[in-house]
Amino acid sequence: MNKAQLVEAIADKLGGRQQAADAVDIVLDAIIRAVVAGERVSVTGFGSFEKVNRPARYARNPQTGERVRVKKTSVPRFRAGQGFKDLVAGTKKLPKNDVAVKKAPKGSLSGGTTTKKAAAKKATAKKTTAKKATTAKKTTARKATTKKAATAKKATAKKAPAKKTTAKKAPAKRASARKTTAKKATARRG
């Protein structure tokens, strides 16, 4: 089914071909604009459309087998909803006189401005959560650094007197060694 056939299929329910064509155009335009903006468009029972980023990669030219570098890009993705999957798989039967996709529950539909506000609130909440997590990490790191520094100072303070005493003992040993050498020398002369 192409776009013209889709318009024909819904024309009798909307009261004319022109109204059906306008409806199809408006729906498709709204989906495309939302996905391009990075939003996810989800239709209950049907599926969801979203923008996915693909990283740069290497691919092979199927004709020559040559390795080709492919730049990073963004692509649209559609994921079918569970109701749509069940109908295609045959686990549920397609209703004859009713719509295949049931209406969304009350309260789940909202205007475009509300959706943008909700998205802005979610983004703000994510930023706030990220800031709190970063602050918590920094505080924990500072506490750990302070504890390590305090432990290092205590260890250095304990080791410092030991070095001083060994430094004092060394000259004493040298002096006694000199005295002993001097006594031996006088004893030989005498």
User: The tokens of 58 are what?
Assistant: 């290497």
With tokens 């006694």, the residue in question is: 176
Predicted local distance difference test score (pLDDT) of residue 112: 47
For residue 85, being part of any structural domain is answered with yes
- φ, ψ for residue 10, nearest 5 deg: -105, 0
* φ, ψ of residue 63 in degrees (nearest 5): -80, -45
Reported as a single tens digit per residue, the pLDDT across 12-42 is 888 899 999 999 999 999 999 999 999 999 9
Enclosing domain of residue 47: 3-89
In a domain, 164, yes or no: no
| pTM given for the model | 0.51
Q: Residue 83: which of 93, 70, 72 has the closest Cα?
A: 93
Number of domains in the chain: 1
- What pLDDT, on the 0 to 100 scale, is given for residue 72? 96
pLDDT of residue 93: 87
Q: Would you say residue 189 lies in a domain?
A: no
Asked if the structure places residue 130 within a domain, the reply is no
**Percent of residues, the chain, with pLDDT higher than 90:** 41
Domain presence at residue 159: no
CA distance 190 to 183: 11
What integer pLDDT is reported at residue 49 of this predicted model?
96
Model confidence at 138, pLDDT cuts 50, 70, 90, reads low
* Closest among 112, 120, 123 to 29, alpha carbons compared: 112
Instruction: Note the pLDDT of residue 157.
Output: 53
Tell me the pLDDT tens digit for each residue of 46-88: 999 999 999 999 999 999 999 999 999 999 999 999 989 999 9
Instruction: Quickly state the pLDDT bin for 92 (edges 50, 70, 90).
Output: confident
- Specify if 97 maps to a domain: no
CATH number reported for the structural domain that contains residue 33 in this entry:
4.10.520.10
Determine, yes or no, domain membership for 32: yes
User: Amino acid identity, residue 155?
Assistant: A
Question: Stretch 121-137: mean pLDDT, rounded?
Answer: 55
CA distance 50 to 39: 7
Contact yes or no for 125/61 (Cβ under 8 A): no
188 occurs within a structural domain = no
CA 126 to CA 138: how far, in whole Å?
18
What is the per-residue pLDDT across 171-184, written as a single tens digit (0 to 9) for each? 555 556 566 666 66
